[in-house]
Structure formats: C-alpha cells, structure tokens
Amino acid sequence: MKAYYSKIFVLIFATGMICGSISAGGINSKSGTSGFPFLKINVGARAVAMGGAFTGLADDESALYYNPAGIVTFDGNRFIAGYHNYFVDMQSGFLGYIRKYRENFSIGWWASYLNYGDFIRTDQSGANLGNFSGGDLLLAVSAASRKGPDFTYGATFKIIYESVEEYPAFGFAADDGIHYSSLRNRMCFGLVVKNLGMQLSSLGEDKDPLPLTFRTGISLRPKGLPVTLVGDIIVPTDNNVSFAFGGEYWELRPFYFRLGWNSFGSNYRTSDSEDSWAGLGVGVGFDVNQLQISYAFTPGAELGNTHRITITGGI
C-alpha cells in the first residue's frame, strides 16, 4: 500500500515538473490582462506554508477560498481570521464563518481585502500633490453538500469591489468545487473552477475578464507516517500553468511543521536575480484549546518577504 501512495504522489510531482518546465518557457501573452488580480492571492497560513496546494486537502476553514466542497466536512460551526503582511506596504486580511445546518449541508460567509498602501500624487513637473490609496474588497457566501460518505460538492458566490482614489470597479464571480476522499480519508482529490464571472464596471473605459482558474489537487496521508503530502496543478487563463506541492509533519502535535513550494514564485525573480528561494513556503502551527494558530513565511525575491498569521477554530 505504501508503494501505491508513493506512485500516486510521484505522478503528481512529475506532472507538475512538466507543467513547471512549460511555464518557464517565457512570459504568457495574456499575463496582466485580467481584472481584480487580488483574487489570485492565496489565503491561510497553513495552506500557504505548504505551497498553496490545498485543493485536494481542503480540511480546514480556508477551504472557503480553495475548495468550497470541503466546508461540509467539519463538525459544528467554525471560524477563520487571517492577516497578511504583503509586499512593500500592502496588507490583506481574511475573515470567515462556517455554520453547520444539517449533517450533510453547511454554509459559510467570508470576506477578504487588500490595501494597496499609499501612493504619491504628482503633477507633470513632478511636484508632490499629496498621497492617495486604493484597495479591493470581496464579500462571499459558500455552500456545500455531502453526497454519500466520500463525495462532497460546493459553490461560492462573490461580490467584488475595487477602488483607486475616487475611481471604483465592481464585479461578481463564482467558484465551483468537488472533493472526493477514499481509504478512510488517507487519500483525497479535489477539483475547482474559480472566478467564473465578469466585471460590471472597471477603473478605465474597458472591462477586463476575470482571472478564471482551474485547479486540481491530491492529498495523501501514508499509513504509519505522521505526515500529510499535498500537490496541486493550477491552470489560469491569464498566465502559464503552475504547480504547488508541500507537506505537513504532525508527529509533535499540538505542534505542526509545514513546508512547500509553488512554481509561480519564479515570476517574482528578475533575469539577474540571485534569489532562488522565491516560491518557497515554510510555516508552523500549534493548537491552543479549540484554536489553531498558524504562521507562514514566503520569500518574494526583489519584491520582499511576506508573512501570514491565521487563527482557526470552533465556535
């Protein structure tokens, strides 16, 4: 059985390596052409520390973002609160609540934001005219249902708002996901379509498409080993294919150690960059009563480093 697990994970890894090689071929011609790019920022310190590979696992409250099909697997009501110290002086946050209505049905409400920080306004001569700012806000509701002991599916509807000074933009989007578990949850698969929708208004004259993304992933808990292994393949319509993989070591519970890598990190490096760590994720977590507190660190080459802290638990 252990050999079977190994073959599956190697298959995911090899597929990801091929995709990563394709991605490295050059800049995608559609890069930067979609609206509301903040929709692509991963959330949750635990998931980010494992490279953002969470589509197949989806077993904590950040499933609201990664795969809504996962929220029906929790016992009782849950919450998540997260803060992200992003590049430069940008900051983002995530807040969510999941309510168990029936044994096979759950609903979650969540919100996320991104603050761009301050910009300096100048005239044509370069004179300083003061500062201005901008940001993004997302409000969402997710629902998930269980069909049989191993299969769940879920969907999310999102309202999106963006502003730069007095210029606003609006849009709506939906995510659809499925999740399948087998071997007593030691092997799980997930598939998600994210950001199906459109801009209703934009900051400029033209409306942009949303960053439509297809994700598939797997998680493995090898029998007899205190680790969880995860891998995702991410196929965006506005960039190259990328992949993520990582793991969580939980032998020392209530302490957890996490490590991962995401091939998208190569986009943070310039041609003369010496920073080969971009794309790495590393983090820790620990349980306190009914809460879990998680931290993740991710280097971003010339853009700087980012830090996330997330608190999850039951209510």
- The structural domains of the chain, ordered by start, are 2-121+129-314 (2.40.160.60)
pTM, to two decimals:
0.87
- State the pLDDT confidence band at 185, using cuts at 50, 70 and 90: confident
Residues 143-167: what's their mean pLDDT? 93
pLDDT tens, position by position, 80-111: 999 999 877 789 999 999 999 988 999 999 99
At a CB cut-off of 8 Å and minimum separation 6, what does 162 contact?
Answer: 35, 36, 38, 134, 135, 136, 137, 168, 169, 170, 171, 203
3-class SS at 111? strand
Lowest mean pLDDT, pick from 8-22, 185-199, 217-231, 249-263: 8-22
What integer pLDDT is reported at residue 200 of this predicted model?
A: 92
pLDDT (tens digit, 9 = 90+) per residue, 245-279? Answer: 999 999 999 999 999 999 987 766 655 555 678 88
pLDDT, the chain, mean = 86
pLDDT at residue 12 greater than cutoff 80: no
Of 215, 251, 221, the residue nearest 59 (C-alpha): 221
What count of other Cβ atoms lies within 10 Å of the Cβ of residue 62?
28
Is it the case that residue 167 has pLDDT exceeding 90? no
State percent of the chain over pLDDT 70: 85
Q: How far is it, in rounded angstroms, from Cα 147 to Cα 72?
A: 10
